[in-house]
Amino acid sequence: MRTFDFTPLYRSTVGFDRMFDMLDSSIRPDWPPYDIEKLGDDKYRISMAVAGFSTEEIELTQEGTTLVVSGSREVSEAQQQGYLHRGLVNRNFKQTFSLADHVKVTGASLDNGLLQIDLVREVPEQLKPRRIAIGEAPRTGVESTQPQKRLEQDTKAAA
């Protein structure tokens, strides 16, 4: 298990709490193994090997930009007896993924011990880049002389 203690750095820095939290959360457990695939420009899939877990024992939660995948199961004493070697991991797990802004979970499925979580990035229309047309500005030279001519004509007429 890999763990790092950032406590000495917390004492000597100010304003870097978020960076240390990101470093702390980037240290992941080795189990369950997972893959992250890019299926398209804005489509992704996380695949996790969770052999032995049923859909009732796995929980997916998205809160803001954090996706938490956890699995818990009760193993009775009767199930533990009789094994000479346990090579299949049969323990609870919790994996946390930091998602980019506007990424949402669109679906999840469990088939043959492989949990697949589909994600899509949906950027709101007002945040997408947009092209702005450039129009012609009115000619200022022509407009600026016309008021002067009118003023001259008005003064001549008044005199």
pLDDT in tens, 82-132: 777 777 767 888 998 888 888 999 999 999 989 999 999 988 887 778 888
Model confidence, pTM: 0.61
Residue type, 101: D
Q: How far are the Cα atoms of 3, 17, 97 from residue 22, in angstroms, in the given order? A: 14, 9, 11
Please, are residues 56 and 73 in contact by the beta-carbon 8 Å criterion? no
Please, are residues 70 and 93 in contact by the beta-carbon 8 Å criterion? yes
Q: Which domains does the chain have, with CATH numbers?
A: 1-29 (no CATH), 31-129 (2.60.40.790)
Residue 69 in this model has a pLDDT that exceeds 90: yes
Please, are residues 52 and 34 in contact by the beta-carbon 8 Å criterion? no
DSSP annotation of 132 reads -
